[in-house]
Amino acid sequence: MNRQEFEQLLSAWKQGELTADEAFNRWQATSSPTALAKAALVDLDRANRCGYAEVVYGPGKSIEQLLEVFQIQELAGQSSLATRLSTEQLDGLEAMVPGIIINRLARTARRQKVSTAEAPSGQVAILTAGTTDLPVAEEAAETVRWMGGAANLVFDVGVAGPHRLVEKLPQFQEADVVIVVAGMEGALPSVAAGWVRVPVIAVPTSVGYGANFGGVSALLSMLNSCAANVCVVNIDAGFKAGYLAGLIADRRDD
């Protein structure tokens, strides 16, 4: 816990928003850089080092393990995000965590730290080539929102209908950073990058026919983009794209 967080904790106690026991438990929870859970060692210091709390990768974890991490982070005053969750995990978290935000298309669950309302930190536009790319795009959007940014989805603007992208220019040209999610031949990031003066994060998806090779063809196309402002993350890596975009947008908003 840094000085600013300690002062916020004292202020919450003085204003009656926390009892003395609650304030003490929250301070105690953050007095160590890690917290031992039954099946994990939760990195509570990551928010201080990196700006954002540890994110939970869902596959292989029980609902009880996910709940325990969420509870540890809540006690430390941190927001929580879990990705790649199954329907069973989503159902369990939704039933047991008050105020949790579930996105079934993105397969994510997030719990935002209780705080005063703040303006979004940065604007992120997320473009998809087709409707089938939406789950990856939604994962990116949920990540941006967890980081405190605003995510604007612009979907189904692939290169097969070039007029659709031009019609949507006002929705993404003024963003701080643009994420472009595309499968098939992966051409959309290069085209979109020619319309903006900000970083474009390209996300290849495993959407496509046989020679798409599970997204490898889109990945190679994006890596070979001739647009200088395009960088590329891994196949179907919506979380990674959203996290990078959130960092960029947050810096530009300073």
Q: What CATH code is carried by the domain that includes residue 237?
A: 3.40.50.1970
203 class by beta-carbon count within 10 Å (0-12 exposed, 13-18 middle, 19+ buried): buried
pLDDT tens digit at each of 254 positions of the chain: 556 666 776 777 777 877 876 666 665 556 555 554 556 677 887 877 888 888 999 999 999 999 988 888 888 788 899 999 999 999 999 999 888 999 999 999 999 875 544 566 789 999 999 999 999 999 999 999 999 999 999 999 988 888 999 999 999 999 999 999 999 989 999 999 999 999 999 999 999 888 889 999 999 999 999 999 999 999 999 999 999 999 998 876 55
**Rounded to an integer, what distance in angstroms lies between the CA atom of residue 153 and that of residue 242?**
12
Q: 95 and 134 share a domain? A: no
Is residue 7 assigned to a domain?
A: no
Using DSSP, state whether 205 is helix, strand or coil.
Answer: coil
Q: Which of 59, 80, 111 is the last residue of a domain?
A: 111
Q: Which of 86, 111, 136 is the last residue of a domain?
A: 111
Q: 135 and 100 share a domain? A: no
Per the CB < 8 A criterion, the answer to whether 102 and 116 are in contact is no
Per the CB < 8 A criterion, the answer to whether 68 and 25 are in contact is no
Is residue 56 assigned to a domain?
A: yes
**Rounded to an integer, what distance in angstroms lies between the CA atom of residue 140 and that of residue 144?**
6
- Identity of the residue numbered 68: E
Q: 129 and 248 share a domain? A: yes
The range of the structural domain enclosing residue 19 comes to 13-111
Q: Which of 83, 111, 139 is the last residue of a domain?
A: 111
pTM: 0.82
